[in-house]
Amino acid sequence: MTLSKIMGHAGAIRALQHALEADQIAGTYLFTGPEGVGKTTLALAFAQAAACLHPIRSPFDACGKCESCRRVASASQPEIVLIPPAGDQTQIWQFWDRDGKPGGKLENTLIHSPVIGKKRVFIIEKAETLTIPAANSLLKVLEEPPSYAVFLLLATHPARMLPTILSRSMILRLTPTPLRELSEYLQRELKITMEQARLFSAYAEGRVGTAFRLASNPKAFEAMDDLARFTLQSAQLPPLEAFKYAEQIRKKAAGSKALLLQEGDSVEDDSDEPSSKEKAGRTQIGTLLELMALCYRDFMAASILGENAELIFINHRDEILRLSSGRSPESWRESLDFILKARRSLDRNVSVPLLMDWLSVRLFCQNS
């Protein structure tokens, strides 16, 4: 994707285009913003534009036709290098050959000027995962980079990075896109329905990367809709069913593999390590809780605004309107708060069975 085709991030893109146009790009950029906001997409588009041999001017962008651009399109431009963490950390051997093992991405590349494109670009994803030795070795490079090298560091949690690296970087903050804008964009560009686009944008909370991943996954809508139906059905459970419900939530979540969103998720899930399996389970329960929260947001909106509510699950509109009238807005809000609280607790490693029991009791034994 080229810079001009990117959704959102207008301010950041303009700043990058100005720098490209004036031939004054910094040696190191740091793109920050929430997971899934589109940091990698922007980094790749910027890299392509910076390496392009015959760029388009005002606004500056890659030509899409030169040797460098064609290689980007076929994922064979070796001078644009993406370095994701190896597991939970980004380690020094990913940069430099160590212990006689080749494979360091900066070794034997950084010292040579590019031959295909105009720049060598190194994109370091999740830069907050750099180990101290890796960060220090990188710092030496960032202090005096060759003129043809550009480093793009991407981070969700920049506060966890070495201050010395932060101070070397030109920082650009990426923020989520307004839901309506994102939803319209998804409908237009990916030819998906309004129901799908609205749900994906809302679930992604405006994070373009996440919305795109969902919209490109042919099973996602069905899986999300299935979880929504489950939530709608369970919203009318009698209190005595609450404990059965806790078990049902876990079973339901375990069946929602189509919604594993992060690239590493499916890998973790295939692994035999118990801790990885547990983590995948948590990811799925997290997804279910996030969808439940969206459903309850709809209940709350419908109980306040009735027919005029702008719902996320528009394909379940009638049922949501019917169910929502059975309780007060405050009572829906209270349930929504419990779901959000459970979602936050999940990240703090509490026991999943205990958490689901707690949530079920809160949801079903207090509103009767």
Which residues contact Zn ion (rule: CB under 5 A)? 52, 62-63, 66, 69
What is the residue whose two structure tokens read 């981070």?
155
Query: Alpha-carbon torsion 311, 226, 207, 334, what sign?
Result: positive
Question: Alpha carbon of 270 to those of 6, 87, 162, 261, 277: distances in Å?
Answer: 33, 15, 34, 15, 8
Rounded distance between C-alpha atoms, residue 209 and residue 262, angstroms: 10
Number of residues in the chain: 368
Q: Which residue, 62 or 142, has its beta carbon nearer to Zn ion?
A: 62
Q: Which residue, 23 or 347, has its beta carbon nearer to Zn ion?
A: 23
Min CB(3)–Zn ion separation in Å: 12
Rounded distance between C-alpha atoms, residue 52 and residue 62, angstroms: 5
Min CB(53)–Zn ion separation in Å: 5
Q: Which amino acid is at 285?
A: I
Min CB(207)–Zn ion separation in Å: 28
Provide the token pair at 37. 């906001």
Min CB(228)–Zn ion separation in Å: 44
Q: Which residue, 56 or 171, has its beta carbon nearer to Zn ion?
A: 56
Q: Which residue, 69 or 192, has its beta carbon nearer to Zn ion?
A: 69
Min CB(57)–Zn ion separation in Å: 12
Min CB(216)–Zn ion separation in Å: 25
DSSP 55: P
Rounded distance between C-alpha atoms, residue 235 and residue 300, angstroms: 12
Rounded distance between C-alpha atoms, residue 275 and residue 209, angstroms: 27
Q: Which residue, 55 or 209, has its beta carbon nearer to Zn ion?
A: 55
**Which one, of 43, 33, 37, 34, lies nearest residue 13 by Cα?**
43
Q: Which residue, 34 or 55, has its beta carbon nearer to Zn ion?
A: 55
